[in-house]
């Protein structure tokens, strides 16, 4: 395992490895990055690794050489990561060691939003009008040509960081210079010094969860998404399966399959985000790894399919078990609690009453004393809750009703 997110997948992936009867070696440049994320008094699940090796994971060529030398002794059987920033490195290591895995080129193109746009356009898949720019003058000129409103994105960040809706040149300048002031990501990797401008797409957004193996992409299902905190695009909730018309569901699934084929992605669990616009489906982005934000758990609660376990099996070159099983739930949803002000969290009113509600699948809320700011990415949540519906697509409404009873109390600093 080459690095990891510190969120839910840092727990789900080690669990899937262990439950599959396997062990793993963990490669990281900074173990303390994970130790700081462990709840007080508990060991981080990544410390369940058989070996923990320190290497400069931000230098792919050197890392690949290091992994090859370690392979001579430890004899790895697969290479995996949950962190977007290291997906290309994991694919290159697998190729170097002769182990199963997706095409490194395909993964690199999927992890670069500008490359994805170019390849999908060349394949004839309809998408938003877009431009890739570096200097401010070039960016402003491209924005005028595309027309406002539009979306400014970094090409190589995650969790919605610095993705902004801009309605005029003044807003574009603010977004452009804010992104320029973040030249190195949270893992110490230098960002590509370009921005992606895209036509603003209308309509609801969904994601298609797939597992590709041996040349065939299997659709596990479609998840819906709600977004808030404008002009940022912060995910505020999800439901699986999405409550779609048969036509919209088919359009989303077909578009995802076409996009995966165009990129050449195989032997990978993928999470493809799609807007169902008034002009038809449009790909937002393709993530060559299991979905984040606990979507994999929504899928598991409804279908019994464990996408973390599927990722492990695919990394080992094995066909995963994707047979749905009865779980007693027809839908499952998650909602996130977002701060809207800056300060120190004193309490979350309504939390005690919430924990006594029947049928909740998960409740996780931030502890008092946490320093917060108004949410502008998926990294800023104050917690989440998850619930299911055994009778139909009512899970989202139940979660929304329960979330409405929570009131973060923040002391301004």
Q: What is the pLDDT of residue 89?
A: 98
The whole model's pTM is what?
0.95
Q: What is the pLDDT of residue 41?
A: 58
Residues 62 and 12 occupy one common structural domain: yes
- What is the CATH classification number for the domain harbouring 44? 3.40.50
Residues 233 and 323 occupy one common structural domain: yes
Averaged pLDDT, groups of 10, the chain, 413 residues long: 91 94 96 77 81 96 98 98 97 98 98 98 97 98 98 96 98 98 94 97 98 97 96 97 98 98 98 98 98 97 98 97 97 96 95 88 94 94 96 96 95 83
- What is the CATH classification number for the domain harbouring 214? 3.30.470.20
Tell me the sheet residues that pair with 227.
Answer: 235
Residues 12 and 94 occupy one common structural domain: yes
Residue 45 CA to chain centroid, in angstroms?
A: 20
> Is 111 part of a structural domain of the chain?
no
Q: What is the pLDDT of residue 40?
A: 60
Residues 54 and 151 occupy one common structural domain: no
Q: What is the pLDDT of residue 43?
A: 72
> Is 112 part of a structural domain of the chain?
no
Indicate the angle between helix axes 113-122 and 246-263, nearest 10 degrees.
100
Place of tokens 């005028």: 144
Give the Å distances, CA to CA, from 81 to 78, 92, 122, 308, 396: 10, 12, 29, 11, 30
Residues 15 and 83 occupy one common structural domain: yes
Residues 247 and 322 occupy one common structural domain: yes
Structural domain including 41 reads 8-99
Pick the last residue of a domain from 327, 345, 376: 327
Would you call 397 exposed, middle or buried from its count of C-beta atoms within 10 A (0-12, 13-18, 19+)?
A: middle
Place of tokens 């110490």: 188
- What is the CATH classification number for the domain harbouring 178? 3.30.1490.20
Residues 214 and 265 occupy one common structural domain: yes
Q: What is the pLDDT of residue 7?
A: 84
Q: What is the pLDDT of residue 38?
A: 65
Give me the phi and psi of 312, to 5 degrees please: -65, -45
Q: Are strands 130-133 and 195-199 parallel, antiparallel or unpaired?
A: antiparallel
Pick the last residue of a domain from 274, 305, 327: 327
Pick the last residue of a domain from 327, 348, 375: 327
Residues 135 and 172 occupy one common structural domain: yes
Give the Å distances, CA to CA, from 4 to 87, 103, 281: 10, 20, 31
Residues 29 and 60 occupy one common structural domain: yes
Q: How many domains does the chain have?
A: 4
Q: What is the pLDDT of residue 230?
A: 95
Place of tokens 């709840």: 39
Residues 275 and 370 occupy one common structural domain: no
């Amino acid at each position: 395992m080459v690095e990891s997110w510190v969120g839910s997948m840092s727990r789900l992936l080690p669990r899937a490895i262990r439950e599959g009867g396997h062990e793993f070696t963990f490669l990281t440049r900074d173990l303390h990055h994970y130790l700081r994320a462990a709840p007080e008094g508990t060991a981080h699940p990544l410390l369940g690794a058989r070996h923990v090796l320190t290497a400069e994971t931000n230098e792919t060529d050197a890392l690949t050489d290091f992994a090859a030398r370690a392979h001579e002794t430890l004899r790895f059987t697969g290479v995996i990561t949950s962190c977007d920033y290291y997906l290309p490195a994991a694919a290159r290591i697998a190729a170097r060691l002769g182990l199963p895995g997706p095409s490194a080129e395909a993964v690199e193109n999927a992890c670069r939003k500008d490359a994805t746009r170019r390849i999908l356009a060349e394949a004839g898949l309809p998408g938003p009008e877009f431009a890739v720019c570096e200097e401010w003058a070039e960016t402003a000129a491209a924005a005028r040509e595309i027309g406002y409103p539009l979306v400014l994105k970094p090409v190589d960040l995650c969790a919605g960081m610095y993705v902004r809706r801009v309605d005029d040149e003044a807003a574009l300048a603010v977004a452009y210079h804010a992104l320029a002031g973040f030249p190195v990501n949270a893992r110490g990797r230098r960002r590509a010094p370009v921005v992606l401008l895209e036509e603003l797409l209308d309509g609801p957004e969904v994601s298609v969860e797939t597992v590709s193996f041996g040349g065939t992409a299997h659709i596990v299902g479609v998840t819906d998404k709600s977004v808030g905190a404008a002009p940022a695009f912060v995910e505020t909730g999800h439901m699986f399966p999405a409550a779609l018309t048969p036509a919209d569901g088919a359009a989303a699934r077909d578009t995802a399959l076409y996009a995966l084929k165009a990129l050449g992605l195989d032997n990978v669990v993928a999470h493809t985000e799609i807007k169902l616009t008034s002009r038809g489906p449009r790909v937002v982005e393709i993530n060559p790894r299991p979905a984040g934000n606990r979507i994999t758990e929504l899928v598991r609660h409804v279908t019994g399919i464990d996408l973390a376990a599927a990722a492990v099996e695919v990394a080992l070159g094995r066909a995963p078990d994707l047979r749905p099983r009865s779980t007693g739930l027809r839908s499952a949803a998650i909602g996130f609690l977002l701060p809207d002000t800056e300060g120190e969290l004193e309490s979350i009113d309504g939390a005690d009453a919430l924990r006594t509600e029947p049928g909740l699948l998960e409740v996780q809320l931030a502890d008092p004393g946490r320093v917060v700011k108004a949410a502008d990415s998926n990294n800023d949540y104050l917690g989440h809750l998850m619930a299911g519906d055994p009778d139909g697509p009512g899970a989202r409404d139940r979660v929304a009703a329960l979330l409405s009873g929570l009131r973060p109390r923040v002391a301004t600093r």
